[in-house]
Structure 1
Amino acid sequence: MDCRMGCGACCIAPSISALMKPAGDRCQHLDDAMLCTIFNEPHRPSACAEFKAEMGVCGTSRTEALHLITELESLTCP
């Protein structure tokens, strides 16, 4: 599955410790078009670079992706 352009759910729903970003907060590198401004940069956190879009995480829409990733975050992080 390819990343859904303009989605940004993976930059909002999960916590990203390397960026000190809490779950549910928008990443500071997410622009107004919901695109990562450091996507191809070497300092992009490995957690972000290793994320792969897949149906079980991203669903069929941005709304579903936000729901699924939020649920996964609550199950895996205290």
Structure 2
Amino acid sequence: MPDLFIAPPDQAPRSAWRRECSACGACCSAPDIAALAKPLGVPCVHLAPEQPGVGCLCRQYHERPQVCRNYRPDWVCGEVSPLPTLTQRTQRFLELYGLEILERSGPSGV
């Protein structure tokens, strides 16, 4: 039986523990998504603004890339979803994975 807590090196750590999506938006903001040319810590351009009582929703949900379809809410979502803002949820998501955003430089390198 495979160990459910060991992820292939090209994937983020996964947990066997699952939960329902809370529409917190962190999974659409924190990780980099190559299929969308989305950098680390930047909200996806398809992420709609947060709405009270609804949360953050994808504007292209039915056409989203496979990497987004494969994501399953887990314990990380439980850690970040109670935070009040998308910025705070994104930061906590990155902290949980030990990631940090390097200073982005403009086209001139400044």
Instruction: Name the TM-score class by shorter chain.
Output: 0.7 to 0.9
The one-letter amino acid of 1:18's match is: A
Alignment correspondent of 1:16? 33
Alignment correspondent of 1:4? 22
Give the alignment's TM-score, normalised by structure 1.
Answer: 0.75
| Identity score, percent | 39
- 2:48, 2:58 within 8 Å by CA — same for their partners in 1? yes
Deviation of 1:58 after TM superposition, in Å, equals 1.1
Please say which structure displays the higher CA radius of gyration.
2
The one-letter amino acid of 1:22's match is: P
Deviations 1:23-61 (A, max 9, x none): 1101000001321011122xx111111000011x21244
Distance 1:73 1:19 in 2: 22
The alignment of Structure 1 onto Structure 2 pairs a total of residues equal to 70
Root-mean-square deviation (CA), in Å?
2.1
* Higher RCO, Cα 8 Å, sep 6+: 1
- 1:58, 1:65 within 8 Å by CA — same for their partners in 2? no
Unaligned segments of structure 1, at least 5 residues: none
Give the alignment's TM-score, normalised by structure 2.
Answer: 0.55
